[in-house]
Amino acid sequence: KGLSQQARDAFAESARAHLIQPWPVAGEIGAESRGGIVSGNGIYVTDIEGRRQIDGPAGMWCTNVGHGCEPIARTLYEQAMALSYNSPWYTANDPSVRLSERLANHAPGDLNHVFYTTGGSSAVETALRFMQFANNVLGRADKKMIVARQGAYHGSTYLSASLNGRPRDHDWMDSAGELVIKLTCPNPFRRPAGVSVEAFCDMLVDEFRNTIETYGAERIGAFIAEPIMASGGVIVPPEGYLDRMRALCTEHDILFIADEVVTAFGRLGHVFASKEVFGIEPDIITFAKGVTSGYFPLGGAMISSRLLERLRQSNHADAMFAHGLTYSSHPIGCAVAETNLDLLEGGILAQARANAPYFQAQLKSLEDLPLVGEVRGLGLMACVECVADRESNNPLALDLEVGKRIDAHCQQLGLLVRPLIHMCVMSPPLTISRPQIDDLVSILRQGISLTQ
Ligand code: PLP
């Protein structure tokens, strides 16, 4: 049941008067109200008007175990009563120590150490600041440039946002652009005409090799990549791409940072995807979101033992990594992450792996709609990309915001969509069943059909 009309009006008025939400346009800052959500249960949320919606994007790729999860709610309460906070500067708490060991056991290679943050941006920021610090300590202060990709999303703090690859997100924002080099987005759907996917992959790797030659390996500190670019439109790179980029990083002593803020904690069926899905061992993995299924803001950077050993052996082993957050290693966040991991290991990862091919195949059937250029994805993340026409596959004009129009239709029918200009992203809670996948796809089909 929704709120009364009077309560809805009051909600909207109060939101407009006082709440600033992410990505507003200048004229609407402090003057807009977005759709109200009042409750959630399993894969569903209920909006202010009382309509139940499938949470198609799992919030922001995060509600992996679903809404209203009792074991997590209990953990939140119990850990708050046991120990609500301790200073990570002077002390350590049990949940963070236990969680670190479990994450190290899941992480590939020698990624045995965790620095906890409050989310994904701060995890990426931590990884980058650590790279800068490490290179200062190792006596190579010029090796600080960061190679990122067009289409990527890495966060909203100054340095992490500087890596973001959507040009229009930089139009009005300052950035540390002088530190960043952006490579071509590894999107096979948008590869040059007449070029095979294999040849496209060669081009991408050559571009990185040439970039290293142009700038010099002695100036490049890190390459950062989401194994599957998420907000850029669920870009699954060509086979072998990540492997070969990793090999170039190893050859030139460039840190490979895998930004697994979206791909970890079950989205691709495993706790981390770098090794299990793509066969690579990064030097640093950043994570957030699904680590607590969104029940508590937590993120982190997993750092390799080898890298730490180099610092220990350096001439500046006493140099201070002057970086830390009041809420690093938060006991409630870490306790929630432990329970979340119990649930994932206890069956949800297996369920996600089992249902992923069905999810992808059902969504793929939408390619028969004239507006749909491609449906792509892996695991339980997918993107429906709309095109101006199927002959050319040209993208629709940016100002058409077709994703928003599809979202509006789908909401009437009971599905929240994540509109991304001309794309719709689907990444539901991992607990979604096959009949629920059928519902999701059927509503999306209707929503897209109504938009044509
Ligand atoms: N990295 C990736 C790949 C993301 O998708 C996001 C957020 O969507 C971030 C980093 C930033 O995370 P947060 O919003 O928790 O700061």
Average pLDDT along the chain: 96
Evaluate if residue 452 carries a pLDDT over 80: no
Ranked by mean pLDDT, the top range of 14-23, 182-191, 411-420 is: 182-191
Ligand 1 centroid vs 328 CA: distance in angstroms? 17
Q: Measured from the CB, is residue 262 less than 6 Å from ligand 1? A: yes
Return the minimum-mean-pLDDT range out of 25-29, 86-90, 247-251, 371-375.
Answer: 25-29
Residue 33: predicted pLDDT: 85
Q: Is the pLDDT of residue 328 over 90?
A: yes
pLDDT in tens, 157-216: 999 999 999 988 999 999 999 999 999 999 999 999 999 999 999 999 999 999 999 999
The per-residue pLDDT for 401 is 80
Query: Probe ligand 1: pick from 60, 63, 125, 153, max atoms within 8 Å of CB?
Result: 153
Which pLDDT belongs to residue 399? Answer: 67
**Cα 152 from Cα 330, distance rounded (Å):** 28
Cβ-contact 391, 193 below 8 angstroms? no
Task: State the chain's maximal CA–CA distance in angstroms.
Answer: 68
Q: Which residue has the tokens 């002057």?
A: 322
Atom of ligand 1 nearest to the CA of 124: 10
Cβ atoms of 95 and 338 within 8 Å: the answer is: yes
Residue 231 pLDDT > 80, yes or no? yes
Q: List the domains of the chain with CATH numbers.
A: 5-68+348-451 (3.90.1150.10), 71-343 (3.40.640.10)
pLDDT at residue 420, as a whole number:
86
pLDDT bin (cut points 50, 70, 90) of residue 391 is confident
Q: What is the DSSP letter of 28?
A: G
Q: Model confidence over 41-58: pLDDT tens digits? A: 999 999 999 999 999 999
Give the pLDDT mean for 372-388: 95
**Closest atom, ligand 1, to C-alpha of 230:** 5
Ligand 1 mean position, distance from CA 400 (Å): 26
Residue 92 has pLDDT above 80, yes or no: yes
**Parallel, antiparallel, or unpaired: how do β-strands 111-117 and 299-304 relate?**
antiparallel
What contacts 307, CB < 8 A, 6 or more positions away? Answer: 134, 255, 283, 284
Average pLDDT score over residue span 399-427: 90
The 10s digit of each residue's pLDDT in 120-164 is 999 999 999 999 999 999 999 999 999 999 999 999 999 999 999
